[in-house]
Amino acid sequence: MPIKENYKRQALEKVERLGRALEEAILLALEQRDPEDLEFGISYEFESPKVESLWKEAVEENNYMEVVFTEIMEHHDGAYLKATFRNSTERYFADRYVSVRSSGRVE
């Protein structure tokens, strides 16, 4: 069943909003650092209710994503399906990885 273009556009707009919010937070943090510290690298962690809600909306609860990679592997104890789903715009992308194990054999 084809995906409606409007539905796809809404999903990508969510990724754009999240990307802009993260970019804004990171740029603000970098402006507050001593440039010499940046030469050696920094560790940065922050909490933001706004970014958290945008993350849930754009990645965790977003049910439109394109499949960009699939792999099926058969092992002695069953089969594994690995898939990567992605929403991407020109500047930002969101990935979700899924791994499923089955105790059956692949024929």
> Confidence class of residue 37 from pLDDT cuts 50, 70 and 90?
confident
Q: pLDDT, tens digit, for every residue of 56-67?
A: 999 888 888 889
Q: pLDDT, tens digit, for every residue of 57-102?
A: 998 888 888 899 999 888 777 888 899 989 888 999 888 888 888 8
Task: Please tell me the pTM assigned to this model.
Answer: 0.73
Q: Order across the sheet with 93-102: list the strands.
A: 66-75, 78-88, 93-102
Q: pLDDT, tens digit, for every residue of 42-53?
A: 787 888 899 999
Return the ∠ at Cα 68 (arms to 67 and 72), rounded to 5°: 85
Element (H, E) at 81: strand 78-88
Q: What is the pLDDT of residue 71?
A: 92
